[in-house]
Amino acid sequence: MLNVFKNKFSQIHKQSKEAKELLRFIGPGILVTVGFIDPGNWAANLAAGADYGYALLWVVTLSTLMLILLQHNVAHLGIVTGECLSEAATRFLPKRISRPILVTAIMAAQATALAEILGAAIALNMLFGIPIMAGAVITAVVCTLMLWTNSYSRLETWIAGFVSVIAMSYLFEISMVHVDWPQAVVSWTVPNIPAGSMLVVMSILGAVIMPHNLFLHSEIIQSRHWNLEDKALMEKQLRFEFVDTLFSMSIGWAINSAMILLAAATFFVHGVSVSELQQAQELLVPLLGENAAHIFAIALLFAGIASTTTAGMAGVTIFSGMFGESYDMKDIHSRVGLLLTFVPAVIVLYFINDPFWGLIVSQMLLSVQLPLTVFMQIWLTSSPKVMGTYANKPFTKGLLYAVGFIVTALNLYLLYVSLQ
């Protein structure tokens, strides 16, 4: 009897120890999650809920599933090789192929930073009446200082806090409205494309999978200092990474869903269409009151700052990787990479009179670059030369290519529509 008790206690202790160890590995996925709850996603989700009610919730589910597959795949690259996507491309691809892709990836990071900085600047304008350009400079400076700390653990803590504020803000606002939960459950799982909604469907899908996040995840996953020699430990780390990715992407799914739920329960039921973030905040005042409008702006501010920070990290990762180096703000290449990401974004914002048009232009640039990054990633993770025994199996490779072609088609279609 005593031996049974000892064995049971030993088993519980072992499980508890592994659970605590797992918690220490939660974090990289949270940083990536910020990229698909950014101001661009806000605009797409609010438009979806305001114009089509709960009908397009399934798009959030589908896009999140595709995102999990791609992010999980690129995180494996970081774990197995000990290199980020940019470093691996520099090492394993001819320069005539890798350099053009990586240069366009830096441009994509700049375009992403432009959209994120703009979102935070809009929030500062909502809250304090700060002019958009001044708000953009403030955002860029604050995020630069955050990155200059050169501490992954500190950044993870800050951004996890930002994500918590965003999530709690939407929980509070949803508690103030009547949500048709049975209809929402059906809409999360059953595809439905209402007449005239195709462009919004494309916008939601296109805004979730972004090139800078693929580079970012493969870099920050290494902050856990993987042991590449111990196969048993490697297997455990691969499992932990999947849990981290699944957990973090699920949070992103919940927040994106909450945006649509709020818009459906607030704007759609009153027949109000929403096309801009400032308009959404203004319309919340008569419907839910001043507090709800302020909370909306505060959540947008945290989303803008957090996503600007991760866009800067991605720019640093891509530029440093071109020199075969990892993210390290003590290194000159990392510092130049950060300046190359933020400074052009702020300068371009100075010449943009219409913020909404600025967001459209930034998304167009991402649409052009994304296919290059996705297919480069799939080639690298499918290569035994790069991944060894951890190279993509035929089924996984087929699934990844299918997702790659779908994402490419959607983004190119968005680009075509934007140019009309």
Q: What distance in Å separates the CA atoms of residue 61 and residue 208, rounded to the nearest whole number?
A: 11
Residue 369 forms part of a structural domain: yes
Residue 111 forms part of a structural domain: yes
Range among 182-196, 267-281, 360-374 rated most confident: 182-196
Taking each helix axis from N to C end, the angle separating 57-81 and 181-189, rounded to the nearest 10 degrees, works out to: 50
Q: What percent of the chain has pLDDT over 70?
A: 84
Q: Tell me: the pLDDT tens digits for 247-258?
A: 889 999 999 999
Q: Tell me: the pLDDT tens digits for 47-97?
A: 889 889 999 999 999 989 999 999 999 999 998 888 999 999 999 999 999
The CATH number assigned to the domain holding 345 equals 1.20.1740.10
Looking at residue 15, what is its pLDDT?
Answer: 47
Domain count, the chain: 1
Looking at residue 352, what is its pLDDT?
Answer: 77
**Could you tell me the two tokens for 91?**
């090492």
Choose between 19 and 255: higher pLDDT.
Answer: 255
**Could you tell me the two tokens for 11?**
């088993």
What's the maximum distance between 2 C-alpha atoms anywhere in the chain? 78
Confidence of residue 333 (pLDDT cuts 50, 70, 90): very high
Q: What percent of the chain has pLDDT over 90?
A: 40
Looking at residue 260, what is its pLDDT?
Answer: 92
Q: Is it the case that residue 199 has pLDDT exceeding 80?
A: no
Q: What distance in Å separates the CA atoms of residue 187 and residue 192, rounded to the nearest whole number?
A: 8
Looking at residue 361, what is its pLDDT?
Answer: 63
Residue 88 contacts by C-beta under 8 Å, 6 or more apart in sequence?
77, 81, 218, 321, 380, 386
Confidence of residue 363 (pLDDT cuts 50, 70, 90): low
Residue 246 forms part of a structural domain: yes
Q: Contact at 8 Å (CB) between 223 and 84?
A: no
Count of CB atoms situated within 10 Å of the CB of 340 = 20
Residue 311 forms part of a structural domain: yes
Q: What distance in Å separates the CA atoms of residue 312 and residue 123, rounded to the nearest whole number?
A: 19
Q: What distance in Å separates the CA atoms of residue 182 and residue 80, rounded to the nearest whole number?
A: 43
Element (H, E) at 341: helix 332-350
Mean per-residue pLDDT, 291-314: 89
Choose between 210 and 358: higher pLDDT.
Answer: 210
Residue 18 contacts by C-beta under 8 Å, 6 or more apart in sequence?
none
Q: What distance in Å separates the CA atoms of residue 314 and residue 214, rounded to the nearest whole number?
A: 9
Count of CB atoms situated within 10 Å of the CB of 209 = 27
Q: Contact at 8 Å (CB) between 319 and 106?
A: yes
The three-state DSSP-derived secondary structure of 316-335 is HHHHHHCCCCCCCCCCHHHH
- Lowest model confidence (mean pLDDT) among 3-12, 269-278, 317-326, 398-407: 3-12
Looking at residue 308, what is its pLDDT?
Answer: 93
Q: Is it the case that residue 19 has pLDDT exceeding 60?
A: no
Residue 50 forms part of a structural domain: no
Q: Tell me: the pLDDT tens digits for 92-138?
A: 999 999 999 999 999 989 988 988 998 899 999 988 999 999 999 99
- Cα 18 to the chain's mean position, in Å? 28
**Could you tell me the two tokens for 138?**
């403030």
Residue 33 forms part of a structural domain: no
Looking at residue 12, what is its pLDDT?
Answer: 45
Residue 59 forms part of a structural domain: no
Residue 92 CB burial class (10 angstroms; 0-12, 13-18, ≥19): middle
Q: Across all residues in the chain, what is the average pLDDT?
A: 84
Mean per-residue pLDDT, 270-290: 73
Q: Is it the case that residue 152 has pLDDT exceeding 60?
A: yes
**Could you tell me the two tokens for 120?**
């935070």
The position carrying tokens 């957090």 is 306
Count of CB atoms situated within 10 Å of the CB of 146 = 19
Q: Tell me: the pLDDT tens digits for 228-269?
A: 566 667 777 777 888 888 888 999 999 999 999 999 998 898
Q: What distance in Å separates the CA atoms of residue 29 and residue 34, rounded to the nearest whole number?
A: 9
Looking at residue 131, what is its pLDDT?
Answer: 93
Q: Tell me: the pLDDT tens digits for 376-408?
A: 999 999 999 999 989 999 999 999 999 888 878
Residue 279 forms part of a structural domain: yes
Looking at residue 9, what is its pLDDT?
Answer: 46
Residue 179, domain extent? 83-419
Which residue type is seen at 218?
A: S
